Amino acid sequence: MASEDIKTSAGNGGETHQQAASGNMLTTNHGVPVSDNQNSLKSGARGPTLLEDFVLREKIFHFDHERIPERIVHARGSGAHGVFEATDDISDLSKAAVFTKGEKTEVFVRFSTVAGGAGSVDTPRDVRGFAVKFYTREGNWDLVGNNIPVFFIQDAIKFPDLVHAVKMEADRAYPQAGTAHDTFWDFASLMPETTHMLMWAMSDRVLPRSLRMMEGFGVHTFKLVNSKDKASFVKFHWRPKLGIQSTIWDEALKLQAADNDYHRRDLFEAIDTGAFPEWELAIQVFDEAFANAQPYDVLDATKLIPEEDVPLRVIGTLTLNRNVDNFFAETEQVAFLPTNIVPGIDFSNDPLLQGRLFSYLDTQKSRLGTTNFHQIPINAPRCPMHNFQRDGLMQTMVPKGRANYEPNSLAAHGEDGGPREAPAGFATVDAATGPEETGDKLRIRSETFADHYSQARLFYRSQTESEQAHIASSFVFELSKVGLLDQVPPRMVANLRNVDEDLAARVATGLGIPLPNKAKAAREPFDMPVSDALSIHKKMKNTLEGRAVGILIADGTDAGELKSVVTAVTEAKGKAVIVAPKVGGAKLSDGSLQKADGQLAGSPSQIFDAAAIILSEAGCAAMMKEGAAIQWAMDAFGHLKAIGANAAAQPLLAKAGVEPDDGVTDVGADFVKAAAKRFYDREPKLRTLA
């Protein structure tokens, strides 16, 4: 269809509508014209999504069955078993048994990338899934979230479009696991609601150092329900004990070459060695009055609630303490369902969540081939399960008797009549949760969803200067990969002018294009108070715990210096990893043979959090002829890591272009202190950032 045959307009919530003036109309698979492809059918502008919406149902049904058996999104994952312990009494908020103070609940957690296939790498620029299955004594509860608290879209009807746009382009099947291509940015630039999520996606949040150093979020607004059926709104947060930390872009690219399984290996080895990853579960709880008073809609998945407005309350601890026994049986076959919920927790009318509630069941049937996927051990509840569901492909249970329906009176005749309703079981809270929740059936978006830029502005302005530079540079890199669609970069920059004029100017300059006119906002953005909780650098913990320090040695390395560094790193709860030209090791100054943990050629410095170089004069001379050793020091410096070097190793540093700064030390106490952080003020000397 020619562009002149398309009429573009903004909807009630600022969403983009493209309508055919004539000719090629969008239809269902059965030829029924679709009048609105942006909004699901709801009972009122902020009400629940209606089951009769056959357009939504068909679209998501088809999308869920596009590929088998690999997950369409979140295909590459890593999983582990653990335990959740409730540490605070919130019985005034929720009657859920999982939150009973002192209660310990088995869990299974799966981390994942979103865009790539199962055979892609661990370290692309991508959102990470953070899904937790709680095997509670009241049934399974699945909290299926991401490492970012917001999402790209507001309504589930747009999810197939989002994923189609972000996945490999349909005609050429590339790029894999990345957004730096035409179709994603074409879609994003036409959908202003993506802007807040784009700020996060272009930040270092999507380049995690480790799955163990990554936050998690439930994304949606849920409800907690107490024993008196009083409901409160809630958002769920996972906070890593080790704090959050990310790599930088150049480092992430080199990690893909160094170790495709970097995150998977890191998680497995941490658990295997007893360094169990831990997170705190924290909640933000608020009521209807707070929700109605906000300048954004709490049911809008593109919005977050600043921690300064509703502080986090820690209510439990998650510990991963056991690796899987079989990757396929557990990590691949685990099936998470947002509909897996227990009494005391309930859904909100978030239209993105509402669509997920009836999408995931289709997905699991498609992937696992049977409605009985809940009988696979990793998915089976730990509490008793009774109902009248029978038969089906791969049925493994053997029910006895005739009772496969209810009501029945078989028990009165001496037969087993089977289970019955539980008055204290799960019941949806039916109290109204806001204005316009009920009313006419509408395919419309609430006007309260129309502000697409204020929280994007909040996120950007809450970052440090270095983080802002990374965001701007990420936009430049990604948009520079847009090919023939030359109208897309200016359109995206026009949107960014609503976020921050300096950001837009930096991106335009980086792309070498004139600064376009500001895009018209559906609702004018406003300034929110800066939130330090949104910045990685402001929240980063200066610690070596859970981090690895690479120590480069060669023949002649001083045994005393090496022992001192290893001891200091270990005492700081870090992991000392010896690297040498040969995996058999190096002969130290005292004549002993020090076995290496890794060979220099296969252990680049990007897999470590800090680097120490301890050489003799002869060893340094030999290393200066080794390109891998020069690159080892060069990359550690370029990736803003601490470098400790003894006096004899200084010529190697000079050849690698390592310049003195606060992060370049000797191998004494100053090194261990410096190794606990990154030195972002070094970066402008090393590369041009937008």
| Annotated binding-site ranges for heme | 71, 110, 159, 356, 360, 367
> Do the Cβ atoms of 224 and 234 come closer than 8 Å?
yes
| Rg of the chain in Å (alpha carbons) | 27
Query: CA-CA distances (angstroms) from residue 455 to 12, 125, 296, 468, 532?
Result: 19, 21, 9, 15, 14
Candidates 39, 140, 146, 646; catalytic one: 146
Report the candidate in 167, 163, 165 with the shortest Cα–Cα distance to residue 190: 165
Instruction: Write down the residue that tokens 């530079």 correspond to.
Output: 469
Is position 74 annotated as part of the catalytic site? yes
Cα–Cα distance, 217 to 281 (Å, whole number): 10
| Residue pair 241/270 in contact by the 8 Å Cβ criterion | no
3-state secondary structure of 407: coil
Q: What single-letter amino acid sits at 341?
A: I
Say if residue 163 is exposed, middle or buried (CB neighbours under 10 Å; 0-12, 13-18, 19+): middle
Indicate if 263 belongs to the active site.
no
Q: Which residues are annotated as a binding site?
A: 71, 110, 159, 356, 360, 367
Q: Single out the residue of 149, 47, 139, 172 nearest to residue 442, CA to CA.
A: 47
Local structure of residue 5 (DSSP, 8 states): G
φ, ψ dihedrals at 606, nearest 5° = -70, -15
Residue 477 near residue 181 (C-beta atoms within 8 A): no
The answer to whether 470 and 249 have CB atoms below 8 angstroms apart is yes
- Paired strand residues for 139: 136, 137
Catalytic residue among 39, 74, 263, 495: 74
Please tell me whether residue 491 adopts helix, strand or coil conformation: helix
Contact (CB, 8 A) for 206 and 252: no
Q: State whether the Cα torsion 87-91-94-99 is positive or negative.
A: positive
Q: At what angle do helices 182-190 and 488-496 cross, to 10 degrees?
A: 40
What amino acid positions are annotated as catalytic residues?
Answer: 74, 146
